[in-house]
Amino acid sequence: MVNYLIAMLVTVGIYAVLALGLNVTWGMAGIANLGLAGFMAVGAYTTALVTKTFGFSIAAGMCLAVFASAALGILVSVGTLRLRGDYLAIVTLGFAEIVRLIASNETWLTNGTDGIAGISGPWRGQLSPVQFNWVYLGVTAALLAVSLLVCQLLARAPYGRVLRAIRDDETLVSVAGKSTFRFKLQAMAIGAGIMGLGGAMYAHYISYISPDVFRSLISLYIFLALTVGGTGNNYGALFGSLVLIALLEGSRFVFATVPAINAVQLAAAREMLIGLGLLLVLRFAPEGLIPERPKIFTRAATDITPRN
């Protein structure tokens, strides 16, 4: 049981890092990036390839993962950032699908649908599975703390204020003489880099990655985690991830006690509950469970000006 709880805490940590990355792009800068799974995949594959093929250390692999995803974030931005918000959302969703297709089909590079097994984990060989779980919880906590620190500094700095201003009224910022494109580009790079880190953390924990891991389901989960926790708030990203995993995992135990329906119905009921739970939080905690700002400062503008 304890081992399971640790594993789920590690998962919360990885989700939280991904959600922090999303918070930089979507929460702070208002860029509707649904391509999270794609950036996560690039991070995971980068570190898996360099640590397995070229014998890089895990730390070096993770650093490269961050850079590779950030670089890709810039590349994607150049082509898409000028699009309207809702168009951008669909195009980035497509981007993630294309990354998955490449991972599936370019076997020479990614080993195709077989995936990459046996990715190293920190001290994995010397530890028992339970010890490894504890160690990785520590690693996750440390990396999460670093990501959180970066995101908090970003949010508090004048830079973060500019991003939020772009999110709330882009025209105003560009009238004030700032290049909103450059700011958004940087936000995408930072956000994508953090998402890449999340992917790398996943790869070294599970030790196996394959294209199917990076289906858009995971992007959806993280988006919901952030929205539930409180878009724009870094602690919201953390708390939302915890709530999401509690919902995903807790539902198993709830339905264990339901008799008399078949396994498929049980699985369907469980997913229904997850969807409903998220809709309810969206409905009754409009700003998320930890709102970005106290209620009185709530952006009145959002009622009129759609975000994009």
Contacts to other proteins from residues 108-137, by CB under 8 A: 112-115, 117-118, 129
Q: Pick from 13, 36, 270, 292 the residue near other proteins by CB under 8 A.
A: 270
Per CB under 8 A, the list member of 57, 59, 78, 79 interacting with other proteins is 79
Least distance CB 211 / other proteins (angstroms): 8
Contact pick of 146, 179, 254, 293 for other proteins (by CB under 8 A): 254
With CB under 8 A as the contact rule, which of the stretches 46-54, 158-166, 179-187, 275-283 interacts with other proteins?
Answer: 275-283
**Does residue 75 touch other proteins according to CB under 8 A?**
no
Q: How far is the CB of 18 from other proteins (least distance, A)?
A: 11
Token duo for residue 13: 């940590």
Which residues within the stretch 168-187 sit at the binding site for other proteins (CB under 8 A)? 170
Nearest to 61 by CA among 197, 190, 207, 236: 197
* Contact status: 262 vs other proteins (CB under 8 A): yes
Sole binder of other proteins in the list 223, 238, 244, 290 (CB under 8 A): 223
> 242-251: long-range contacts (C-beta < 8 A, 24 or more apart)?
242/12, 242/16, 243/281, 243/289, 244/15, 245/8, 245/11, 245/12, 245/15, 247/273, 247/274, 247/277, 247/278, 248/221, 248/274, 249/8
Query: Distance between CA 32 and CA 84 in Å, rounded?
Result: 9
Told to check if 101 binds other proteins by CB under 8 A, we report yes
Tokens of 30: 């208002």
Residues 80, 85, 89, 91, CA torsion sign: negative
**Token duo for residue 85:** 């918000």
Contact track, other proteins, 198-217, x by CB under 8 A: ----x---xxx-xxxx-x-x
* The residue type at 89: A
| # binding residues, other proteins (CB under 8 A) | 86
Site for other proteins in 45-64 (CB under 8 A): none
Return the structure tokens found at 186.
Answer: 């940087």
Structure tokens at 42: 């690039």
